[in-house]
Amino acid sequence: MSDHPKAKRLFGRSQGKALSARQQRAVDEMLPRLSWSDEGGIDPKALLPDYGRHVLEIGFGAAEHLIGQAVRHPDTGFVGIEPFLNGVAKALTGIDDHGLTNIRVKREDARDEIVRMPDASFDQIYLLFPDPWHKARHAKRRFIQADTAAELARLLKPGGRLRLATDVRSYADHAFPILLGRADLEWTGQRASDWRDNPDDHIITRYQTKNLGDIAPVFMDFVKV
C-alpha cells in the first residue's frame, strides 16, 4: 500500500483481528483477480466492460452496502476501494457468496487510485460514514478536502451523483461547505427529510444501526452539473 506521510493518513490500523481461513483464501486467491495494477491509468469501463453504468464506493467498510447494491443492480459495474484488510476480505467473501461478477475491489488509499482514473468515469460515487477524525488538528486527514472534492466531481459523468453520509456533526460541518462551494456540483436537498431520512435506495449497514456518532445520520446528495 502507498506510504502517505503520517500527517496525511486517512485511516488508522490497516488490519484488525486475524482473518478466518476462508477470508485468507479469498484474499490470496480472489483479490489478485479482482484488483488492478498499481501502475498506470485505471479505466472502470475496461475493468468492467460488460456494464453500461459504473459506480464507485470509497471506504466500503464491511462491504454490506457495496455487496447489497451489486446484488440489487446486476446490470451495473461496481468499483470498491478500502484500505482495511478485514473489510476487503468481507467484500471478497460476499462476492463469492452471491456469485457476483460485477464488482472489482482494491485494498488501497482511494486518493492514490482516483487520480489515475479518467474524467466522467462514474454514474454514482458513494462515500458513506468516512472516518471523521474528530479532533480539529486532524481535520486535514478527512477524506473530503478541496482537492479530493475536485477529483470526485471530475470523476462523475454529467448528471452523475455523489452521496456523502455521516453521523458526526464536525464532519458534516467540515465537508458540506466544501462540496456546496463547487460550481460543478449541485446539492439536491430541498427539505429536511432529504438529508435526515434514509434515501429510498440506501442500504442500512450494521455500522449505521450502532448509532456511534453524535448526530442522526445526514445524507448529502450532489449531482454533477
For the stretch 29-38, contacts whose Cβ atoms lie closer than 8 Å and that sit 24 or more positions apart, written own/partner, are 30/92, 30/95, 30/96, 31/88, 31/92, 31/105, 31/107, 34/92, 34/95, 34/103, 34/104, 34/105, 35/104, 35/105, 35/106, 35/107, 36/104, 36/106
C-alpha cell, 54: 459504473
DSSP bridge partners of 19: none
Residue 139 has pLDDT above 70, yes or no: yes
Helices 169-180 and 146-155 cross at an angle (nearest 10°) of 60
The torsion region of residue 120 among left (phi > 0), alpha (psi -120 to 50) and beta comes to left
Cβ atoms of 32 and 38 within 8 Å: the answer is no
pLDDT digits (tens, 9 = 90+) for 114-138: 999 999 999 999 999 999 998 888 9
Cβ-proximal residues to 44 (8 Å cutoff; 6+ apart), any chain: 54, 56, 77, 79, 117, 121, 122
Spot the catalytic one: 109, 123, 131, 167: 131
pTM to 2 decimals? 0.92
Cβ atoms of 208 and 219 within 8 Å: the answer is no
3 counts as catalytic: no
Residue 8 has pLDDT above 60, yes or no: no
pLDDT digits (tens, 9 = 90+) for 147-167: 999 999 999 999 999 999 999
* Residues 61, 165, 182: CA angle, nearest 5 degrees: 120
pLDDT digits (tens, 9 = 90+) for 176-218: 999 999 999 999 999 999 999 999 999 999 999 999 999 999 9
Report the SS3 class of residue 55: strand
Residue 10 has pLDDT above 60, yes or no: no
pLDDT more than 70, % of the chain: 93
Domains observed in the chain: 20-35+42-224 (3.40.50.150)
